[in-house]
Every structure is written in C-alpha cells, then in structure tokens.
Amino acid sequence: MFLTEENMRDPIVSVSGVRGIVGEGFTDELVREYARAFAELTEYGTVLVARDARPSGEDIVRVLIDTLAELGCSVVNIGMVPTPTAVLNVKETHADGGIIVTASHNPIEYNGLKFVSSEGSFLDLSEMARLRGTVGKDTPRVKATGKQIRDTTALARHIKKIKSIPFVDSGALRKRNFKIAIDCVNGGASMAYPAMLESLGCICARLFCEPDGTFPRKPEPTAENLSLLSKFVVAARADIGFGVDPDGDRVSVVTEEGKALGEESTIVLVARYLLGKKKGPVVVNYSTTRAIDDVASDFGVCVERAQVGEANVVAKMKDVKAVLGGEGNGGVILPQVNQTRDAAVAMTLILEYMLESGKKMSELALKLPRYHIEKRKVGMRSSDFQKVAQSARRLQGNGELNKNDGIRIVWGDSWLHIRPSGTEPVIRIIAEAKTRQKAKLIANEAARLIAEL
C-alpha cells in the first residue's frame, strides 16, 4: 500500500482510492486530474458516476462529469446510491469503469474518489499505481463531447440481483414481515436500504435516514457508535437493528434486546448461515476476528487472509475461489452478487438465518465464538511506520510474527495487528483475546510504544 501525504492534511492515495479534506488536500483540480487519468485508463469509454450523501459530493460529481465528458467519455450518472449499488451497476450495465464520490467512514470534512473496473471491482494495487502514474500527464483532446445520461434504475438492479441468490427465499421473507430498526447515519443508503428491506416484506423503523450527510453519530458502525440505535430497537419492538456506514458497504447488528454485537460479528453471522448452504474457502483480512476461523472449522473449510483493503480481499478470493469474503469492519463480500463489501447482501443473509432457524437474534448471537477485540488509532504519517514496526517487535516474545500487512503477532488465542491506515493519516492498532482485560492490555501496550515515538 502506498500513501502520499507530506503532512497530515495532504490527500491519502491507496488501494482504497483517494481521500482528503475538501478544499485543502482534496481540491477540484485534484478531481480533474484523476478524472483525466481514469478516462485514459478506460480508453475514453463509458464511465458510471455515483456519490454518497456528503454535502460536498454534488459539486465534485459536477466536476467529474464535466471533465469526463470533455474528454469524450459517455457518462452515466446514477446519483446518490450506496457504494455496493454503484459497483454492481458498473458490471451489470457493461460500463468501462466507475467513479464513486465517497470518503466512506471518514469525518464529514473529507471526501474521496473510489475507482471501479469494468469487472465490477475496485482497482487493485497495481491498477491504482498505473492510474496514479498517469495523473498530471497530458491527455489527448477529442473532437466530440461525450454523452451525459441520467439513470434512476440502479437500485432496482441491485435488489433484483440480491433476490436472485439461490438460498434467499424472498417469498418467505415477505410472509414473515420482520420489523427492522435501521440507522443509515443520514448517508447514501438512507433511502435505498429501507426500500430494499421493504421490497422483502420488512417493516422499517427509520433512524437517521435523511440523506443530508450530516452524520448525527460517528460514521463507523461500531458498537459504541450505535447506542441510540440500541435504544431505538427496544422502543420500536423491532426484531433486529442494522446500523450502516455513510456509503452503505458496512453493517453492524443490534439484537432485539438492544445489544450491539459489534462490527466484527457481521461476517461471522453470515458465515455461520452461508457455509451451511455452500462450502468453500473464506477470505478475510489480517485485522478480522479469529471467530471466523472457529466457524469455518466447524464446517471443515479453510480461512485465507489478505492485506487490509477490500480490493486485496477480492483478489485473494479470486485466487482461492472463495465462497465468501469480508472484513472485520462489518463488510461482507458475496461474489455471486458483488465483488465488494455489500451491506444489503449481509442484511438479507442475516434475515434468512433468522427465518430459517426460527430463532431471535439474541439466541443466534449466543452461538458465536466469544472473543474481545480492542481497536486504537494514533495520528502519524505512514512514512514513520518503519520506526513503529521496529518498536512493536519488542512485544513479540514467543509469538508468531507476520509482516505481510504491517506487523501482526499471534500468541495462541490472542493477536495484535499494527498497520498504517490507507484511508486516514493514522496508525491502526487492533488486538484480540479471549478476555477484554487481556485485549486491552495488548492494545494499550502497543499504543504506549508508539506514543514513545
């Protein structure tokens, strides 16, 4: 992974795309430069453009569309939709590529660009390097301005694809009429996901589903950020609560009792259901809970790990022909629907799990392997990571060291992962153990070592 920041306010470029603070590192000229580079990468073909609900998104989309059209690209604007909806539509409509204006879980002052290939997956590390190498170079002028098309059918394609999953019984779901409390953090999924759930016969109680990008809670769907949803689930007498992030690719679950299970539980719940239907390898990143290994072992299948970044996970999934992939941040990837994290897919499969088992979510949660995970982040330039890595090795002891993605140390049933973020100018620290006390001890000791730098 490569980052380009010279200081903490410069844009961050990685396998997750380009992100920065709007008006500072992330400017209209930066958008134009990347639009020109992407136009060349797609050979001036058809480019799909979408955005999340951030207030800055509309102006950025305008700059993108104008730049792409001037270069002769046909531009299909599908408007404000969840990121997985946009990714799916690139492939389903046979576009040559796509650009999504989103900064996902970053704070509201950020925005970004995520680039999608014609295959319906985010550009991998080598493709991003190629794109970045083209930025700033002269692009040829064309004689004709490209067409600009508005497409309002993107969500319908996404819903149709989800309903086509062989082990999704949409008829039975409609008869069951689950009541869902859903918190979309006023992001890009605020209209789409309640509509999707209602198409499956669910009754939706909406919390923070006004798509104005104001983020009334912290954007990431972690347990501590879903306290209001937990109360809302109980007040609404809902069967389950779903909390998503601003661009709708990650989701976290709250039980009918109001207990937030945490974002790590999402991929584990889906695996518990899916592997009973279709066995095969599972791919997750190095920061994902080892509970997924326990579940996979129950079904006699293997877990492969990849570097953090869904493009890295997807690449590994293709290599091993995985039936399921994801990340411990609430991201689930079902390759027969989408080659990206898809919260709509995750929600649907979890509802199917409840329907088929006849159990409440609180009962299903009791079956999950019990681990405790602690996450920290320390503001630091990625260029300083080598110093961090050298210092962190002091913690290794008799643990097994892995340097495939930052530093990961495994001691029996506990582990520590330290890596530079690809979306923020921070170093991420993740520790997991069988007890909360031990996980906190590992994470705090790692944070202390980094703080000394």
Backbone angles phi, psi at 214, to 5 degrees: -85, -15
Buried b (16+ CB within 10 A) or exposed e, 73-97: bbbbbbbbbbbbbbbbbbbebebbb
Residue 1 lies in a domain: no
Active site residues per annotation: 104
- Clarify whether residues 49 and 124 are in a common domain: yes
Residue 321 lies in a domain: yes
CA 394/CA 404 separation, integer angstroms = 18
Q: Are 217 and 189 in contact (CB under 8 A)?
A: no
- The residue ranking higher by pLDDT, 379 or 433, is 433
State the chain's mean pLDDT as an integer. Answer: 93
Q: 314, 346, 365 — which closes off a domain?
A: 365
- Clarify whether residues 187 and 109 are in a common domain: no
pLDDT at 141 over 70: no
- The residue ranking higher by pLDDT, 47 or 424, is 47
Residue-range definition of the domain harbouring residue 381: 372-451
- Clarify whether residues 93 and 184 are in a common domain: no
Residue 338 lies in a domain: yes
pLDDT, residue 2, reads 35
- Clarify whether residues 338 and 425 are in a common domain: no
What is the pTM (predicted TM-score) of this model?
0.94
Centroid of chain to Cα 334: 13
pLDDT, residue 16, reads 86
Give the pLDDT confidence of 148-183 residue by residue, as tens digits.
999 999 999 999 999 999 999 999 999 999 999 999
Residue 3 lies in a domain: no
Residue 204 is inside which H or E element, if any? strand 203-207
Q: What is the mean pLDDT of residues 426-441?
A: 95
Among candidate residues 114, 139, 136, 109, the one with its CA nearest the CA of residue 127? 114
- Clarify whether residues 319 and 422 are in a common domain: no
- The residue ranking higher by pLDDT, 46 or 136, is 46
DSSP string, 219-280: SS--GGGGHHHHHHHHHHT-SEEEEE-TTSSBEEEE-TTS-B--THHHHHHHHHHHTTTS--
Residue 347 lies in a domain: yes
- Clarify whether residues 25 and 44 are in a common domain: yes
